[in-house]
Each structure stands twice: as C-alpha cells, then as structure tokens.
Amino acid sequence: MNNIQVAATTKNNYKHVAPRPVVTLSGAQQNELLGALPRDVLETLFEHLELVQLPFGKELFEFGNAMEYVHFPTTAIVSLLYVMEDGATTEIAVVGHEGVVGVSLFEGERAMCSAVVQAAGYGLRMKAEHLRAAFAKGGALPALLMRYNTALFAQMAQNAVGGRHSSIEQKLCRWLLDRLDRSPSNSLKVTQEMISIMLGVRRESITAAAGKLQDEGLITYRRGNITVLDRSGLEAYAGECYKVAKSEFDRLRLDVARC
C-alpha cells in the first residue's frame, strides 16, 4: 500500500467527534435541585454532567428497563407514564426544572414506569452510577434527592386520588397547572388528543371540558394552543386535585432555598 492509499484509508476511517457542550454554573443552576447544591458540591458533578437536547416524544427509559442515565430537566418537561398491556396510557407524574428523572440508587434497579419528553427543551444528564457514587458520599445531594422524592410521591398520590374522585374539568385544570408551573409562559402547545391520552379519558370528554373552561373565561383554546387567562380561577376550579401536591412542592422550594 502506497502513501496515498494509506492517507486515504486513514481519512476514511476517521470520524469527527463533536465537542461536548460545556456545563456552566449558571446553566446547571437552571435546574432547581442542582441550583440548591453548595457550589463546591455542584462543581464536583460537572465532569459527569452532560448538556443534552430533549426533543418532544423522546423516551428516556421504558418500564422494566435499567435506568442508565439520570436527567435533570432545565427547560424540558417529562411525563412519567404507566402503560397497560393493551397500550392504554396514564400519566402518573410530571417533572420539569424543579426535579430529576430516573434516579436509580441500587445497581440493577429497573424502571417502574416509562419517562417521555412532553415539552421539548434541554436538560443535564449523568450516568446513574456516578449519581450513586455521589449519593454515597452523603451531604446536601442525598438530602435534596430524598426531599424531592417526598414531593414527587405526593404528586403521584394526589393524581391517583384525583383520578378517582375529581371531575373531568378538575383533572384538566390540574393537568394544565402542572405544566404552567414548569413553563416560562401561560401558553401551552398541546392537543386535546394528547391530554386525553395522558389523563386516560375520552377525547370527547376533554373537548367538552375545555369548552366549558373557555366559556367561563379561564382559558382560550385554538389550533393546539391553550392559553390560561385566569390562573387563580383555574386553581380554584381544580381544588384539592392540584393544591395538595402544589403545597408539597412549595415546601420543597423553601427547603431548597435554605440549603
């Protein structure tokens, strides 16, 4: 093989590797849990954190699978879903910039639900093994993760209770408010079909409920976009279906502020 052939072979085998996005302090602090960590603790995680784009519909993990990565959303919103054997889906919780998705504190632990990106954006991820190692060191990180887990459990419990005892309108109000809490504006890009899938109800029921809320001046709905006009009215309509879990996350934020 001559020099030209060697050079050509080397060029063909070479694959360009895109530089890894740099994780900055201000970028990491867009996630409330990471932002609550003492600076020196947060900086020790930088070598393991990776900024990733989270497109709409991306599945972060599936029920029964090992959770290789932990995701800390910054601008994305992730739904935790339970999928039945017949394909029926129900949302059991939602996670945004206030939380974390995929915490696996035991090696070989399997996912008890599926996680799918519902609103595109960005997040920071790290391998589960690195989080376990950081957790084992004790300090602020495990304390925050356990506190967040309590708030997340409250959301799941309230969703279970609301699913049985709340009206369609209350469920819809709670669903919208959960997303507003994790969104930068009072407008949401979402279809009635998606909402019906997440809530596990008929699309016609969502259409009727959205129409009722619009008639009462709480929201406007047009071409897959919902804008909330009266948040306080929406909260009053949702009642306990929203307030219990919201109060738990408010307490979480107070605890985070004290760190």
Reading the block at residue 221, the tokens are 């709905």
Q: How high is the pLDDT of residue 54?
A: 97
Q: How high is the pLDDT of residue 5?
A: 42
Q: How high is the pLDDT of residue 102?
A: 92
Q: Over 60: is that where the pLDDT of 3 sits?
A: no
- Give the C-alpha separation, 114 to 80, whole Å: 6
Q: Give yes or no for a contact between 69 and 127, defined as CB atoms under 8 angstroms apart.
A: yes
Q: How high is the pLDDT of residue 159?
A: 79
Q: How high is the pLDDT of residue 94?
A: 94
Q: How many CA atoms lie within 13 A of 121 on its CB side?
A: 22
What angle (nearest 5°) sits at the alpha carbon of residue 96, between those of residues 146 and 42?
A: 55
Could you tell me the pLDDT band of residue 243, with boundaries at 50, 70 and 90?
confident
Instruction: Report pTM.
Output: 0.84
* Average pLDDT, integer, range 134-163: 85
Q: How high is the pLDDT of residue 8?
A: 41
Cα dist from 78 to 55, 97, 117, whole Å: 10, 10, 4
Nearest-Å Rg of the Cα atoms of the chain is 21
Q: What is the pLDDT of residues 91-123, one digit of tens each?
A: 889 999 999 999 987 777 888 899 999 999 999
Residues 6+ apart with CB under 8 A from 14: none
159-178: b (≥16 Cβ within 10 Å) or e? beebbeebbbbbbbbbbbbb
Reading the block at residue 135, the tokens are 């957790």
How much of the chain, in percent, has pLDDT values that exceed 90?
Answer: 47
Please state, rounded to an integer, the average pLDDT across all residues of the chain: 85
Q: How high is the pLDDT of residue 19?
A: 60
Q: Over 80: is that where the pLDDT of 2 sits?
A: no
Q: What is the pLDDT of residues 8-52, one digit of tens each?
A: 444 444 444 456 667 788 889 999 999 989 999 999 999 999 999
